């Protein structure tokens, strides 16, 4: 088995995973993030992307070759 982190993946894979992570974060925390963005005058899309990237670093990527 090969263990990789998010930085070791190619750009196409990183973009696909980022898109999936954004959807997951928005589904789980969307309302909380919108409220936070509104209260603190932060751009919601920027906040969502930052949280999605943080979310990606919580995963372990394992490949069987």
- 14-55 pLDDT, tens digit per residue, is 888 889 889 999 999 999 999 999 999 999 999 999 999 888
pLDDT at 56: 83
Cα-only R_g, the chain: 14
pLDDT at 22: 92
pLDDT exceeds cutoff 70 at 8: no
pTM value is 0.75
């Amino acid at each position: 088995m090969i263990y990789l982190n998010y930085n070791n993946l190619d750009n196409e894979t990183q973009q696909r995973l980022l898109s999936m992570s954004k959807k997951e974060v928005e589904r789980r925390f969307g309302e909380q993030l919108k409220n936070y963005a509104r209260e603190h005058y932060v751009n919601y899309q920027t906040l969502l992307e930052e949280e999605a990237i943080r979310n990606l670093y919580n995963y372990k990527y394992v490949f069987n070759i």
